Amino acid sequence: MEVERNPVAGYEEVLSFREDSCGLRGFLAIHDTTLGPALGGTRLWSYASENEARADALRLSRAMTYKAALAELPCGGGKTVILAHAGLKRAAAFEAYGRVVESLGGRFFTGPDVGITDDDLVALGRTTRHVVHMTPAGRDDINQYTAEGVWHGMRACLEFAGLQKVRVAIQGVGHVGLSLGRILKRNGLSLVVADIDAARAAHAAEELGAEMAAPEEILKVPCDVVAPCALGGVITEQAARELRARIVCGSANNILASPAAVEELARRGIIYAPDYLVNAGGLIRGLEFDLLGRADSTKSVEKIYARTRHVLELARERGATTMAIADELAEAFLQAARSQAQRGIDSASTPA
């Protein structure tokens, strides 16, 4: 196993690792542990290059830090991405990757993300204690909590915009997207769905009583809310110009592809619910059950509504983007924690 440290400004630790015998190549980023050990999923994806994979790990780990800070959770942000390819021997690769996680001594806890199966997590668990599984005994499906959190954030946006008889376009109806669709259906919203897996889209449309759209058209359909629930980076500057929606609110991480997309949404008066604010339900549940031993996280996840409403109102008052406000609130929470920790250090070092 080859493990190299790659210093990056603003990140506590960035590792690249590879094990040629099983085809393992990946990156692990710990962004910030001010609030506690870094939590973040492991993603398996076909990246165009190692540089692209590394950049994804950096973006996602930073978003996890902010997600934890906004949710006021005692954890920091991290992320691992593993490059998927035909030669990857998955069981051996995840066992090897587990040794990397274990070597960090509990500074990083991981779990499932895009592309990860139960078998991958079982293999990972053979070599590290610092992994949470999808549905351990006693814990509900974590995807359901993510979807519930997105619904609370979406509800805040709808009320803020004064919208009723709402039509929502869901991009991606995997575990979270389908769960969100079920919640929206129960609450009387009309739906249009799309997925790169045509059979999955058809199944979701039938269950939800939804219309279907082609994956390449879902961001352009007339609707009130676009809910990206697959991969991030889908709202580019061009996509922001073409949206026919009033609100963007979904479960995908890093929905906006660039600062230009942020500004274009703001220019058009389209409300953006920062993804790391509204998709925190899964993180809340995972931390509260697996690390804090709490039986239920419903009340904690419901707080996403009030936090989203607060961000929307501050953005309107200050004439700022919701992204800028969410970042500011997260940084303020982190800085307060750093200051408190420093005061503790100073007090401990002061002679009696």
Report pLDDT digits (tens) over 123-143: 999 999 999 865 554 445 788
- 296-306 confidence digits (pLDDT tens): 888 999 999 99
Res 291 pLDDT > 80:
no
Judge whether 2-67+76-125 and 142-331 match in fold.
yes
Res 343: pLDDT: 66
- Which DSSP helix (H) or strand (E) runs through 15? strand 13-19
Which CATH class for the 142-331 domain?
A: alpha beta
The whole model's pTM is what?
0.89
- Confidence (pLDDT) at 112: 86
- Is 220 annotated in the active site? no
- How many CB atoms are located within 10 Å of the residue 2 CB? 10
Which CATH architecture describes the domain 2-67+76-125? 3-Layer(aba) Sandwich (3.40)
- Count the helices and strands in the chain (H runs, E runs): 12, 13
Q: Please give the residue that has the higher pLDDT: either 241 or 114.
A: 241
Nearest CA-CA partner of 61 in 36, 35, 28: 28
Which of 67, 79, 299, 303 is flagged as catalytic? 79
What is the domain partition of the chain in residue ranges? 2-67+76-125, 142-331
Amino acid 139: pLDDT: 45
As a whole-number percent, the residues of the chain with pLDDT over 70 amount to 93
Whole-number pLDDT of residue 80: 98
Give the lowest-confidence range in 52-56, 85-89, 190-194, 286-290: 286-290
Distance CA 207, CA 215 (A): 18
What pLDDT is recorded for position 277?
Answer: 97
Predicted pLDDT at 147: 96
